[in-house]
Amino acid sequence: MFNTDTTIVAGPESEPLDGLIETILSQQSPIVPTQRMADALRQAFPNWNQALLAGPDVIQVVLAGARGNLTKAKAGYIHRVLGRLLAERGDLSLNFLRTYSAADARQWLLTLPGVGPKTASCVLLFNLQLPAMPVDTHVLRIALRLRLVAENTKPSDVETWFEQQLPQQWESHYEFHLNAIVHGQTTCKAQHPKCADCVLNDCCPSSNLSG
């Protein structure tokens, strides 16, 4: 999900399509309304085939009833994803991507409506256990303050930088991502970073930010 503050990785037995749909719901949405929309969808459509049959207008009504955002766009994306999966794979599941490499799975996900680089990275990391580095606000801020990347580097290029530096295992990416979020929430905060207490103080070019 985009709001990674409370993201819990899904196990290998879970359906990655559920993760993709939750990630679409989380676009430009805080965690609480995202969860409301996800819960409302599950209640209205116990399986995704029912959502496909209901159509985008009914999906939108469900999302709007949960006081979600961008409901028309998100309902359209979800319905088109489901339609595409049924037409191309004959199955409303993304489990087939578990046999793909991270690069191939990303390429396939990026062909879906409503799926950009960040959504694809979230699904790879949290739902498919494949190496990826979703660049959220904390990861981006830390990369910029440590000057790992140049100012104004696009988030997708920041992600590429991390993927080139980290070992190509899922665990490395997942642990780094979670640690970066905790560091960004507790120490390298957007406002008033605690540089004096930071373990990176000696090597960080921005270590005087806390004054």
Binding site for ligand SF4 (CB under 6 A): 145-146, 187-188, 193-195, 198, 200-201, 204, 206-207, 209
Helices (H) and strands (E) counted in the chain, each on its own, are: 10, 0
Q: How many CB atoms lie within 10 A of CB 150?
A: 10
Nearer to ligand SF4, 82 or 204 (CB): 204
The alpha helices in 69-109, defined as continuous H runs, are 71-89, 102-109
Distances (CA, A) of 124 to 76, 115, 130: 22, 12, 5
| Minimum distance of ligand SF4 from residue 210's CB (angstroms) | 6
Return the number of the residue (95 or 153) whose C-beta is nearest ligand SF4: 153
Cβ contact 206:196 at 8 Å: no
Nearer Cβ to ligand SF4 (60/187):
187
For ligand SF4, the closer CB: 13 or 202: 202
User: Which residue, 66 or 180, has its beta carbon nearer to ligand SF4?
Assistant: 180
Residue 107 is which amino acid?
A: Q
Least distance (Å) between residue 165 CB and ligand SF4: 16
Give the shortest CB-9-to-ligand SF4 separation in angstroms. 25
Q: How many beta carbons lie within 10 A of that of residue 178, not counting itself?
A: 13
Please give the Cα distance from 115 to 100 (Å, whole number): 18
The minimum distance between CB 197 and ligand SF4, in angstroms, equals 8
Residue 203 C-beta: closest distance to ligand SF4, Å: 8
Q: To 10 degrees, the CA torsion angle through 110, 121, 189, 141? A: -60
Element (H, E) at 19: helix 16-25
CB of 139 to ligand SF4, least distance (A): 12
Q: Which is nearer to ligand SF4, 70 or 209 (CB)?
A: 209
